[in-house]
């Protein structure tokens, strides 16, 4: 049982990462990673919502009629997304504005629906909670890596703090504006996928 729980929590962090292995959640990875702060908030929001929705659906799984299970899942996710959105507006309004509609679009995030269908509907609440935490943090990890590179090289800052010193600019260094454009996020995600495949030959297509 302990090994199963460890796998549910740890495998999505890297070996079975939802973004680089399952190729899920790519759209939001491109949209919210121009800066590190919104990427962190988005990652934590998805982690909380995946974990809690997994638990709720796991508790209800034996009482949900099969023909309406997707509707029930969407209602649960929508309720949690609304709660998280309102909390962000109350306590982190600036970040909420930066994330704009993307918080609401968590409802359609394929990582969420995938874990509810593939895991929560067949497993107990604690196992489902760990699975949600693992997949949410795996998703957040990729967002943070991409946002770190994009903000650092694109604006010379991280979380609003200037990182690249003035003497670098005095010697000709320039911020790379391309890093702040969505295509660069796709290229960075592609590089991470390439590196992941290189380190895990078993995942390479024959």
Work out the angle between the directed axes of helices 182-199 and 125-155 (0-180°, nearest 10). Answer: 120
Paired residues of 157 in beta bridges = 162
Place of tokens 């939001």: 28
Which residues are bridge partners to 162 per DSSP? 157
- Enter the DSSP assignment of 16: T
- Whether pTM exceeds 0.85: yes
* Interval 16-69: pLDDT, tens: 999 999 888 888 888 899 999 999 999 999 999 999 999 999 999 999 999 999
Query: Which positions ≥6 away from 5 have C-beta within 8 Å?
Result: 126, 127, 130
52: which strand partners? none
Per-residue pLDDT tens digits for 147-187: 999 999 999 999 989 999 999 999 999 999 999 998 899 99
Contact 129, 51 (CB under 8 A): yes
Pairing of strands 161-162, 157-158: antiparallel
């Amino acid at each position: 049982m302990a090994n199963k729980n460890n796998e549910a929590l740890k495998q999505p962090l890297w070996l079975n990462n939802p973004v680089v292995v399952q190729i899920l959640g790519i759209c939001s990875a491109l949209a919210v990673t121009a800066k590190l702060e919104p990427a962190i908030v988005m990652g934590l929001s998805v982690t909380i919502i995946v974990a809690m929705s997994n638990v709720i659906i796991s508790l209800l799984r034996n009482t949900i009629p099969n023909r309406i299970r997707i509707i029930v899942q969407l209602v649960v996710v929508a309720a949690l997304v609304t709660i998280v959105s309102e909390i962000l507006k109350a306590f982190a309004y600036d970040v909420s504005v930066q994330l704009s509609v993307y918080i609401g679009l968590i409802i359609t995030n394929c990582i969420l629906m995938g874990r509810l269908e593939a895991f929560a509907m067949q497993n107990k609440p604690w196992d489902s909670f760990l699975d949600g935490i693992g997949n949410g943090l795996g998703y957040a990890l990729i967002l943070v890596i991409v946002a770190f590179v994009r903000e650092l090289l694109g604006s010379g800052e991280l979380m609003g703090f200037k990182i690249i010193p003035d003497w670098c600019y005095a010697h000709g260094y320039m911020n790379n504006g391309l890093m702040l454009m969505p295509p660069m996020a796709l290229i960075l995600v592609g590089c991470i996928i390439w590196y992941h495949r290189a380190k895990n030959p078993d995942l390479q297509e024959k």
